[in-house]
Every structure is written in structure tokens, then in C-alpha cells.
Homo-oligomer: A and B are copies of this chain.
Amino acid sequence: MDETSITLRVELRADTLLGPGQAALLQGIRETGSIAAAGRRMGMSYKRAWYLIDTLNGSFGEPVVTAAKGGRAGGGAQLTACGEAVLDGYRRMEAAAAAAIEGEVAALRALLKPDDA
């Protein structure tokens, strides 16, 4: 394993956490155009996915996702400019954090028991 695999959760404010779950959901909505489909591919109920998006929508000055009501096409959801900025910002934070700890991770990995021990 060469890449540095991390989980990063950031407290933007006391009531506003941004972590891998929210990021994966936003990315799923970007890719599927649907809150339900984005949740489903994470094994998340529609209710839970909707709750996470509703919470984010209430935390930022602009909504992060806009959803159209159902109908023949089954509604649809998409990231707003704010949602794109949040998702892109999170991905940049993940990459920056992983890069910043590379040296420490290598040093700690050198202390691990050999895999075949």
C-alpha cells in the first residue's frame, strides 16, 4: 500500500460537520442526478440521505442541492454552485491532508510488524 488512505471529518461550525458520508452523497447526486439513487449506492435509506442533504442545505447560505418534485421522470436532484464548491473543497482538503502526512505515515508504517510475521 503506497497511497495514504485517510478519513477526514471537519467541523466547519459546532453544528456543521463535513465528512466522507456527506461528500460521497454529494458526489452520488452529481453523478446520478437523484438523492434516492445516490443514497442507494451507499446503502443509505432515502430518509437518511434526504436528512443529510436537508441539514447541509440549512447550514450554508445557499442550498447545496436542489430537487424537483416527482412526476414521470421521477423528479431529480442536482448540485448547486454552492454544492459543487462544498464537494470540490472537501476533495481538495482530503488530498491536502493526505499529502501533508505522507512522511509521518511512512515512518509509522516502518514500525509495523512485517506482513508475513
Contacts and interface: CB of A to CB of B under 8 A. Distances in A.
Interface of A: 1, 4-14, 16, 18-19, 58-62, 82, 85-86, 89-90, 92-93, 96-97, 99-101, 104-105, 107-109, 111-115, 117
- Copies of this chain held together in the complex: 2
A12 B108 contact: yes
Contact of A99 (B6, B12, B100): B100
A104 B8 CA distance: 13
Given A4-B10, A13-B112, 8 more contacts: A8-B9, A8-B101, A12-B105, A61-B114, A86-B111, A92-B104, A93-B104, A96-B100
Contacts of A114: 61
A108 B96 contact: no
26 contacts: A1-B11, A1-B14, A4-B10, A5-B11, A6-B10, A6-B97, A7-B8, A7-B19, A8-B101, A10-B108, A13-B109, A13-B112, A18-B108, A60-B112, A60-B113, A61-B111, A85-B108, A89-B104, A93-B100, A93-B105, A96-B97, A96-B100, A96-B101, A97-B97, A97-B101, A100-B100
